[in-house]
Amino acid sequence: MKTARTIGISLLAAAVGAGVALLLAPQSGERTRRLIRSKAETCAKDLREGISANASALYKSGAQGTRRAIRRIGRTLKPIAA
């Protein structure tokens, strides 16, 4: 219960802080929205590239592990088949 209250107060404080920051911003709302949109697009692009790179590395690692397992199975079954 105490944790939920702490989280709620933190979220409220963040919202109030964001509201005050927007009210005191040194530039127009349109310019601020363009800046936010640009930064969000950049973050999304970086996130997509990071996910793609990690997925590629994970795929390669899985493929290597699968090849090793197949070789081990082949070595194990070869004497049995002979």
Q: Residue 52: what pLDDT?
A: 92
Contact present, 32 and 25 (Cβ < 8 Å): yes
- Domain spans of the chain, in order of start: 2-81
Contact present, 65 and 55 (Cβ < 8 Å): no
Integer angstrom CA distances of residue 38 from 31, 32, 44: 10, 10, 10
What is the pLDDT tens value at each position of the chain, 82 positions in all? Answer: 678 888 888 999 999 988 888 788 788 878 888 988 999 999 999 999 999 999 999 999 999 999 999 999 988 887 776 6
Q: Residue 24: what pLDDT?
A: 82
Q: Residue 82: what pLDDT?
A: 65
Provide the whole-model pTM.
0.48
